[in-house]
Amino acid sequence: MRFRRLRRTKMYISYYRKPMPRGQRVAIMIVVDLLILAGVLSIILMQLRPIVLKLAQAQVNSEVLKIVNNVIETEISKGTFDYSTLVKLEKDSSGNIAALEMNMPIVNLLQSRISKSVLESIQNQMVSEMHIPIGNAVGGVLFSGRGPAIDVRILSAQNIKTQFISETIPAGINQTRHKITLEVSVDISVFAPGTKAVTTTTTTDVEVSDTVIVGKVPNVYANIGDNP
């Protein structure tokens, strides 16, 4: 029996790829360009966020200063810081002033009350979020207020310190000037997406009493220091 020898033949298949429609090519190019632009903007935002946080801190400091000063001015108008209320004078048998000392129960009460008033005023008056345009971070009049805004959150006041600072100054023969200053310090944190929260401390001091004591005050420096 004869067998037929089979011959192997090679087959070539050609593929024809239809050209992509022009509209589709344009759409893809637009998408790619947008992705590149988004990446560039993301990098720029990362670089500008620290600057934006500093701008936010400056605004927060300004607002806190206004609030604290308003609280203190309100207390001054009420006569809260009357010298005879804050300071106790001790006299000897001859009627001369032997010592000065801060009225600590009253001082502690006022410090607590003022801290509470400052906290309540901050919570009621300060916004919880700021929107700072990128142009402000870039700088210059041309860019100020322009571009997309970065949202910065303002967290609640974390720490408020209030203290009275006493200072005595010679004011002439048998005269001593006694100044009392109220110092208030407020810590507030600001936060922007993609960054860690940053705490800004605002400190202000306001002179609440300035009295000239006439007569001998031999122990004034020993009984009342710069920090009561």
pLDDT digits 0-9 by tens, 31-56: 777 887 776 666 666 666 777 778 88
The kind and range of the H/E element at 63 are helix 22-77
pLDDT class for 68, splitting at 50, 70, 90? Answer: very high
End-to-end C-alpha distance for the chain, whole angstroms: 127
Q: Is the pLDDT of residue 81 over 60?
A: yes
Number of domains in the chain: 1
Q: What is the pLDDT of residue 186?
A: 92
The kind and range of the H/E element at 57 are helix 22-77
**Mean per-residue pLDDT, 177-192:** 88
Decide if 181 is inside a domain: yes
Cα torsion 68, 71, 73, 76: sign: negative
Could you give phi then psi for residue 60, rounded to 5 degrees?
Answer: -65, -45
- Specify the range with the lowest mean pLDDT, choosing from 10-24, 70-84, 191-205: 10-24
**Mean per-residue pLDDT, 133-143:** 63
pLDDT class for 185, splitting at 50, 70, 90? Answer: very high
pLDDT single digits (tens) 219-228: 544 344 444 4
Decide if 150 is inside a domain: yes
Query: What tokens does 45 get?
Result: 């935002």
**Residues spanned by the domain of 30:** 22-223
CA angle (46, 50, 52) in 5-degree steps: 100
More confident residue, 172 or 200: 200
**Mean per-residue pLDDT, 166-191:** 85
Decide if 186 is inside a domain: yes
Decide if 9 is inside a domain: no
Do 152 and 180 meet the contact criterion of CB atoms below 8 Å apart? no
Decide if 119 is inside a domain: yes
Q: What is the pLDDT of residue 84?
A: 84
**Mean per-residue pLDDT, 161-181:** 84
Q: What is the pLDDT of residue 227?
A: 40
